[in-house]
Structure 1
Amino acid sequence: MSCLKCLKYTMCVANFLFFVCGAVILGFGIFMMTQTKFSSLLPSLPFMSITNILIIAGIVITCVSFLGFLGAYKENRCLLITFFILLFVVMLVELAGACILLVYEKKMYIGEKITNDLNKSLEEARQSHKSSVNGTVRVVRDDWDLFQKTFKCCGVKSWKDWKGETPSSCCEQTSSCNATGPYWEKGCHTMMETWFEDNLLNTGIGVIVICSIEVLGMCFSMTLFCHISRSGLGYKI
């Protein structure tokens, strides 16, 4: 009985911590909605938006962890089995996403899709030099400036993509930069591919760690569920 009590409160503490983390991630995602972000650079691939990923992850973590906390604290079989099912579904989605990335990472379709989006958004950003500039164009230009400063790149393939309207965010040294540079040599598409390849292993390790935690949570919830069933506590609320 003492071990089961320990299991119950361990689930409560762990799910409470995950709930707090999920709330922080959700709040940060909402905050980023009001800030400059990279979503305008890839309009046809909204799932790659950092803001969307943070908001979705925050909602899932808070909802699932809340069910786990309440189910363990109240010793409610309905909540515990719901927690188990949701964890299982989330784990399947994560594994499916990881497999898709591994299978299709080298497919030309994804590369061409990203290239087309970058070319289109860069053309919109170039419009900011013209007399009529709306809010959308300004956001795209701000996103490109932040993108180029972050990845230390210029244009899609090179600085020549800006066609004589190269922004200062392309400059290696802003103080000594002029109409001909020196600009970052590599294009942003190349730097994106390099970044994804460099972080592919870390992403895989992260998925494995998360899935391990989810399996542990499912084992704990099922153990507590079976104990409640044997004790005849029913659907206590």
Structure 2
Amino acid sequence: MCCSSLLKILMFIVNGAIFLVGAGLLGMGIWVTVDSASMLGFLDHIEDAPAGLKQLGNVGYLLIGLGVGLTLIGFLGCCGAVKESRCMLLTFFIIVLIIFIAEVAGAIVLFLFQPLVGELLRDIGGKVADSIQTSYGEKEGLSTFWNTTMDELKCCGYNNYTDFTDSPYNTAYTLYPPECCKQDVRCTFANAHSANMTGCFDALVILIEDNAGIVGGVALGIGAVEVFAMIFAMVLYKKAGK
């Protein structure tokens, strides 16, 4: 009896956390979808972008789907544990198992096709740099995105300051964005060249590499939680049948 009560408490805690994460993802997905000036708004300004890149514009709907799925899983797990409903517990187990298998398969595919991912990023990089040169300083969505990104990552352009050469902003003011110069000076070509700020792509890669251990740890933690949740669900499922 004590063991069963402990399992119920653990199931409730784990699935309560899953429910809250799902609610957070749902809110983020709604924000990204509704807010036209969000991070992904710049994709609309990239001409002839690869099909895979254009699909990133649907990330808001993906987040909404994940949020709804996780809140449903959390609800089924909590209610199934409290009410000892065999139907809810079995449904919870099947959904979590499918998600776990999909995560493992996705990790394997990403590992095997890593070189192709690098080629895709290089192709995307050329398109993004072209969009900066043709639209920065003219299209508000793209300009806002790059200003925010450069300010947050302390970087300049996709590759470097040369991405802004002959852009509408550069043509109008004969200057480069202030973020491309380290000091509070007029960001002329000479100052931008002297500052030689890191490109945002390289800055993002460095950020990911610096936090790779945290990302890996979180991924392993999520996998462990899913495994334990499935074990708890099956134990409660068998007890509920007696």
Place the TM-score, normalised by the shorter chain, in its bin. 0.7 to 0.9
Kindly indicate whether residue 177 of structure 2 is the aligned counterpart of residue 167 of structure 1: yes
Kindly indicate whether residue 215 of structure 2 is the aligned counterpart of residue 213 of structure 1: no
Kindly indicate whether residue 99 of structure 2 is the aligned counterpart of residue 90 of structure 1: yes
Bigger drift between 36-45 and 176-185 goes to 36-45
1:129–1:189 CA distance, 2 compared to 1 (3 A):
closer
Q: Is the 8 A contact 2:136 2:143 kept in 1?
A: no
Of 36, 39, 45, which residue of structure 2 is paired with 1:37?
39
1:150–1:55 CA distance, 2 compared to 1 (3 A):
farther
Give secondary structure in 1 for the equivalent of 2:224: helix
User: What does the per-residue CA deviation read over 1:177-223, in whole Å, with 9 as the maximum and x for residues that have no partner?
Assistant: 32223344322232233233333332222111111111110011000
* Equivalent-residue separation in structure 1 for 2:82 and 2:230 (angstroms): 16
Residue of structure 1 equivalent to 2:173 = none
The alpha-carbon deviation at position 49 of structure 1 amounts to 7.9
The alpha-carbon deviation at position 52 of structure 1 amounts to 5.7
1:1-237 → structure 2 map (5 Å cutoff): 1-33=1-33, 34=35, 35-38=37-40, 40=42, 44-45=52-53, 46-47=55-56, 51=60, 54-105=63-114, 107=115, 109-128=116-135, 133=138, 137-164=139-166, 165=170, 166-173=176-183, 175-180=184-189, 181-182=191-192, 183-229=195-241, 231=242
Alignment RMSD: 2.8
User: What does the per-residue CA deviation read over 1:89-146, in whole Å, with 9 as the maximum and x for residues that have no partner?
Assistant: 11122222223333333x1x3223223323323433444467xx5xxx4212222222
Give secondary structure in 2 for the equivalent of 1:176: coil
* Equivalent-residue separation in structure 2 for 1:31 and 1:100 (angstroms): 30
Gaps of 5+ in 2: 171-175
1:63–1:177 CA distance, 2 compared to 1 (3 A):
farther
Amino acid at match of 1:113: L
Q: Is the 8 A contact 2:159 2:199 kept in 1?
A: yes
Q: Is the 8 A contact 2:25 2:63 kept in 1?
A: yes
Q: Is the 8 A contact 1:36 1:142 kept in 2?
A: no
Could you state the TM-score of these two structures normalised by the residue count of structure 1?
0.79
* Equivalent-residue separation in structure 2 for 1:21 and 1:75 (angstroms): 23
* Equivalent-residue separation in structure 1 for 2:196 and 2:58 (angstroms): 24
The alpha-carbon deviation at position 32 of structure 1 amounts to 3.6
The alpha-carbon deviation at position 19 of structure 1 amounts to 1.1
Bigger drift between 140-149 and 76-85 goes to 140-149
Q: Is the 8 A contact 2:29 2:61 kept in 1?
A: yes
* Equivalent-residue separation in structure 2 for 1:39 and 1:226 (angstroms): 50
Could you state the TM-score of these two structures normalised by the residue count of structure 2?
0.77
Amino acid at match of 1:168: P
* Aligned residue-pair number: 222
Amino acid at match of 1:96: A
Identity %: 29
The alpha-carbon deviation at position 12 of structure 1 amounts to 2.4
* Equivalent-residue separation in structure 1 for 2:59 and 2:207 (angstroms): 15
Residue of structure 2 equivalent to 1:234 = none
Give secondary structure in 1 for the equivalent of 2:211: helix
